[in-house]
Structure 1
């Protein structure tokens, strides 16, 4: 499977591995988050700054065409940096995002309350990986149709040809999966997300990222799904996806059993 994008001047040209499961003419939301993270890293290559929040607004369908990723620093302080990101098709903004970067420092000794540690089988102990033609592998820990979803996820191809897949981009790619994981009901997925926000206390270590649904809220045709993120060493952050119902997607998407 080829890398998801190839650089061509100041544009990134998508390949078939970046195609959405909803439409052959549309980029996968999985990759929209990756584009925003890729832009932030190019703008802010400071190893002492942690990308703590990454928000992606999917304001339009992102076409399978060459795309430019533009960034602008909104604030550059001693302990905090804020960056805006725009993904552009020609002269049209098709997605936008923002990032909050915090300077790493000494961690306080006191420990606030947190949920119990995640105790699940490692990815290599789980059979029946899925993902099909998509660029990432899914190893489900049980069925999540109307139940709490738990999965291991791994990107299988480089994001941009000739560039290493960084921990931040790896996490940003997987953040979009909060929607099918947390917003699927007993009949499957009927929500398509309009955004995703990723929070990271630290970058993931290794190639596998775990995700666990922490709940769905819905009222008047608006859904919100939340999930924790993990690596093999423990919890690293969380994701939130806001979504709208679209029954048509059930004809194209079935969660792995």
Structure 2
């Protein structure tokens, strides 16, 4: 029986990836979302401060991540009463393959005035079948539920979709709001692809997430767009909503390469 989680705890700070982490670029390598969420988990457990929240998380992908066993650790780089900088690393066979930097900020002592939150459309009733887009189909895609407001994986151009992770990060643990955000945001370049995946690769070596507030509920809506420059690189940006309104924004630089024929 397949374990219904993205990771299996295999020892202290050691985790084994399941097939649900599989990404679309190669069947032996992971999608960026589950390992990024694992690093956020380690950061959240590092010297936790209940009156602070993560305001920005930046992920650097330093190499392909096999579906294998990893060591994930975190530390406080700069401590403080109002802001803190934390770092986390994901290692495979002694080599760092992903790292995260995160700013943790103190919550305000009184609620400041704020604009009315930007809202997303309601969650559509119909779920998108991932097998309809075989070029994108992978373990992570089938481990998430997708309901598109516009566009889809099979279409070129911007897209908006409501997404729900079907499984927890680790069995018996509830996903935190920021874990859910980072796992979702890494799919922005996929749903808003500006190029045909059968002909081109457009892989993000990084992901930066700015968080306005922790989202609530299982469902997140992602409104994503990708820009490609013929003489340069690509940039994917997205807005992430819960049912109450805008919760975060993300950005990804893209490495672009034509596939070998």
TM-score (normalised: structure 2): 0.85
User: Partners in 2 of 1:119 and 1:12 — Cα distance?
Assistant: 35
Q: Which residue of 2 aligns with 1:4?
A: 6
**1:142 and 2:139 aligned:** no
SS in structure 1 at match of 2:252: strand
Alignment partner of 1:175 out of 185, 188, 211: 185
Which residue is equivalent to 1:23? 26
Q: Report matched runs for 1:53-72 at 5 Å.
A: 53-72=56-75
Aligned to 2:99: 96
Q: Does 1:185 find its partner at 2:164?
A: no
Corresponding residue of 2:49? 46
Match of residue 205, structure 1, among 208, 212, 216: 216
Deviation, 1:19, is: 1.5
Root-mean-square deviation (CA, aligned residues, Å) is: 2.3
Aligned counterparts of 1:187 and 1:195: Cα–Cα separation in 2: 21
Shift of 1:206: 0.1
Greater than 4 Å deviation, 4+ residue runs? none
1:160 pairs, out of 160, 165, 170, with 170
Shift of 1:194: 0.7
What's 2:133 paired with? Answer: none
In 1, are the aligned partners of 2:233 and 2:256 still within 8 Å (CA)? yes
Q: Distance in 2 between matches of 1:194 and 1:221?
A: 15
Shift of 1:186: 6.0
Distance (Å, rounded) in 2 between the aligned partners of 1:29 and 1:193: 9
The 1:62/1:215 distance shift into structure 2, 3 A limit, reads closer
The size of the alignment, in residue pairs, is: 245
Q: 2:232 aligns with which of 221, 240, 256?
A: 221
Unaligned runs of 5+ residues in structure 2 are 131-136
